[in-house]
Structure 1
């Protein structure tokens, strides 16, 4: 959709249509309206069913007392009401100002032989409907229509009165045509109203429209790419360093690239030390280069500037045949100091322990030794884990690997092996993670310091970065809300979300 704010336009249109429908339904159309309802139209079949015998002959339209031939009688009850939003005054009727009659209640095919006013919503309405008000009964003999003339009654909003009429057929057979009220209201209308529980057509149409707006907005949101970051910078950035944090950085880079089509990324995750060395070698001439490390850079590298990203979880991992699910911190140290060489000594099977280490200079190895060991490991000669895979050792052994992927592969393939890895990567490998002192690796446990194996990830640049560079923008992106969400998705915690952000300082 480009920069066109389609969702904003849809929202404004929905509001305007809703407001317009409300005004049309309740203000313009229904502002001044006099309604009527036929609440009863019942035939009278004869006196045999009457509780008071002789009542029908007493209905005489003539004053001389002569009784007409009463047959095909019916009783009708009509409610006349102010169904609008404002008061209807006597001068609002579209009838001659000098006249007292404002409405005419017509009964086609019937004549009126008796009528009464009943059920006044307000007692004061009686003064407007007495004998001197102009209310009268007559007959349109040409059209065979009985008529009750109704006066110009002032009705507040919601007021009503009812007319009860006794009628006799004047022509035809079968069902009677329905009664109708004729007349007019200035600036409004006279209309039949019906008692109903469903919504009006206008409200149904409005509801349908709003549902369609919501569907369109959801469709737009589903296919619209994420909005561009506040700092969308084009260019090509190379990120090197820690292989443990590589999945997080690659995921964040992909999210950034989707939002900023002009950004490109290249990666060289060969380990923390190699990443820092490359930054020293190339960073002075290339500002579009960042190095990611598991922990502070250590001694040297004086020209490098750090930015803390977040807390990263690590875990001790073992070969699945070992069967050990928890070790104490002391047992882990004893293993890596060669004081324990068989798994049976720590509750496992009779199986020699194969120690897998990251090579010296690895950020993950530095984090492991810093968090899990009280002193440096015993000195060992370098042995390739690939060599052990070709010739399995008869007893306790050790070997070294370059990056996280190799660590997890070696532990998965060497029986009796133990190693360590970034937690989210370990969860996808054919190895078993080990709790420390019975505490599993979780973000909460690391944040409250009950789980010890964690580190802080840093992004390093060669000197201060130009503010308009992709490297500066991406580094900021890693610490803003979007980047923090990526970290959280991989089980890490952004420094800004830690209860104690000072833990992200290099010396903590």
Structure 2
């Protein structure tokens, strides 16, 4: 089922994950109590006095050398903060004493304390009085801290002068908070603010963000274009023209991509051969006859009355010559007709400026529509006058006439012309362009093979013909052949133009295909 595609399953699963994460977050916020927390950390614990270390050198500060009881003096900076999610009030401290919290300095005696607070929290200082329980016993190791109200994120610091113990001795903040806790803070650097969101909130936010990104990626990547109307499944064979083979192959792949379940094979064996194969299906079933489409360069004169021809594109062809044969100035139609009549054996017989090379005519076989259009449009309806004298245009052939061979495809002609000194042949324009480094295209009567010039400037270039799609009689409804030809009409313009043809469905193409 289409709705059970991998993309849909991933999308639904991701959306479900996002919904579950949202529900968990709502439950967490409603059911899990927000704890009140007082955190503390030791930001400094340094020795002072004789032999204390300052920077990179040991110096004798001498500040406490003579003070009684200041042996092994140290300074401790303690930060106390509200790093929970709620504010802490006076009554939130659970101590039974007047003060709220107690700092215990193991093995050290307190000699003095100073309170500091960040800007904007001057109201905290009013709580650090003996009447609020703030203070310490002389020689004692316990510092009493009053019940200081702390808004979320507020903190204060205590700078304590101590003696008698080693740096790094245990320091603990003792006390209780209603619906909360007092804990050593190791989650952030000393001067960092507490995180804005709880760990659970951050985790859920990450899950939701990942869900949204995944869904957005699916929307962007997936192809939501609906398949073309009339998509049909099954198997279709496209036969005929080798000149139109690249277009047929490209359109077949596009159709198979847009219409899943279709299988289109392109077997280009020549226009006449393709139309003949279709005509020979007279005794086959209607469904079997509807499984073949034949492309032909021009109208096939041998097509029977049972076949139907649909103009698809105006195909442009060109003469091609061996790279070293300088025919870039082109030939007149009269010169071409002389060459193909057999009257010119060597190229310098045609033009003294040309080299003394044997004329080699690389032609197509009798099944070729490209050859038929060449004879009709360039040779004025005449047959090529030179008989085939060699299977592979062998220059060793001993004959008074030019050498001529017949090959089965446009690609074979281009390869043979490129490899044979003095060779000339003909090709569909798009494929000739792909071999521009190995062959020269030959202008006719001063006009070059140019699709834009023919379509928009009404160029008189003669070597062109209408590409027709042949089917056997009227196609049955719902046939893959009919769907494919509809696809060619509606979606094939880009592929047709890309390969050097003019679509018959284009504005100017309709006029040109009717000529």
Match of 1:355 among 343, 361, 364: 361
For residue 166 of structure 1, what is the aligned residue in structure 2?
160
Checking the alignment, whether the CA contact within 8 Å between 1:112 and 1:167 is kept in structure 2 is yes
Residues paired across the two proteins, number? 468
8 Å CA contact retained: 1:289, 1:471: yes
5+ residue gaps, structure 2 = none
Tell me the SS of whatever aligns to 2:320. strand
| Structure 1 partner of 2:120 | 122
Shift of 1:164: 2.9
CA distance, structure 1, for counterparts of residue 244 and residue 5 of structure 2: 37
1:137-184: per-residue Cα shift (whole Å, max 9, x none)?
A: 458x99x664534512123xxx5333032142576x563236558655
Shift of 1:237: 1.8
What is the RMSD computed on CA atoms of the aligned residues?
6.0
2:328 aligns to what? 327
Q: SS at 1:411's partner residue? A: helix
Q: What is the alpha-carbon distance in structure 1 between the residues aligned to residue 448 and residue 427 of structure 2?
A: 14
Alignment partners' CA distance in 2, 1:312 and 1:98: 102
Question: Using the alignment, how far apart are the partners of 2:420 and 2:328 within structure 1?
Answer: 19
Mapped partners of 2:314, 2:407: distance in 1: 24
List per-residue Cα deviations over 1:319-347 (Å, max 9, x = no partner): 35x344x623x426454222794545396
Aligned 1:177-216 pairs, distance under 5 A:
177=170, 184=177, 191-195=185-189
Give the corresponding residue for 1:45. Answer: 48
User: Who is 2:514 aligned against?
Assistant: 507
Decide whether aligned partners of structure 1 residues 121 and 148 sit closer, same or farther in structure 2, where only a CA change above 3 A counts: same
Partner SS state of residue 43, structure 2: strand
The equivalent residue for 2:73 is: 72
Structure 1 counterpart SS, 2:331: helix
**Paired position in structure 1 for 2:390:** 386
Aligned to 1:432: 438
- Written as runs of structure 1 = structure 2, the 5 A alignment for 1:394-473 is 394=400, 396=402, 398=404, 400-401=406-407, 403-408=409-414, 410-411=416-417, 415-422=421-428, 425=431, 432-435=438-441, 457-462=467-472, 465-473=475-483
TM-score normalised to structure 1 length:
0.65
CA distance in structure 2 between the partners assigned to 1:424 and 1:31 by the alignment: 74
Task: Measure how far apart 1:421 and its partner are.
Answer: 1.9
Give the equivalent residue in structure 2 for 1:238. Answer: 237
In structure 2, how many angstroms separate the alpha carbons of the residues matched to 1:445 and 1:39?
Answer: 85
Checking the alignment, whether the CA contact within 8 Å between 1:356 and 1:401 is kept in structure 2 is yes
Question: Alpha carbons of 1:404 and 1:78: their partners in 2 closer, same or farther (altered >3 Å)?
Answer: same
User: How far 1:210 moved relative to its partner?
Assistant: 7.0
Q: Which residue of structure 1 lines up, in the alignment, with residue 169 of structure 2?
A: 176
| C-alpha contact 1:237 1:470 (8 A) present in aligned 2 | yes
Could you state the TM-score of these two structures normalised by the residue count of structure 2? 0.64
Distance across 2 between alignment mates of 1:32 and 1:441:
84
**Contact 2:240/2:271 (<8 A) preserved:** yes
For residues 221-273 of structure 1, give each alpha carbon's deviation from its aligned partner in whole angstroms, at most 9, with x where no partner exists.
Answer: 9xx9xx99666644332222212223543465467668878545555533224
**1:177-226 deviation digits (Å, cap 9, x = unpaired):** 365586558589965431399x99988x979x979x99xx99xx9xx9xx
C-alpha spacing 1:54/1:360, structure 2 compared with 1 (3 Å): closer
Indicate if the aligned counterparts of 1:287 and 1:471 stay in contact, CA closer than 8 A: yes
Please say if residues 252 and 265 of structure 2, whose CA atoms lie closer than 8 Å, have aligned partners that are also in contact. no
Are positions 1:89 and 2:87 aligned together? yes
SS in 2 for 1:383: coil
Contact 1:315 1:433 in 2 (8 A): no
User: 1:80, CA displacement in angstroms?
Assistant: 2.5
Instruction: Report the CA distance shift for 1:267/1:82 in structure 2 as closer, same or farther (over 3 A).
Output: closer
Query: Which secondary structure state, in structure 1, belongs to the residue aligned with residue 440 of structure 2?
Result: strand
- Checking the alignment, whether the CA contact within 8 Å between 2:375 and 2:382 is kept in structure 1 is no
**CA offsets 1:285-305 (integer angstroms, 9 cap, x no match):** 322221223457799877625
CA distance in 1, matches of 2:249, 2:2: 26
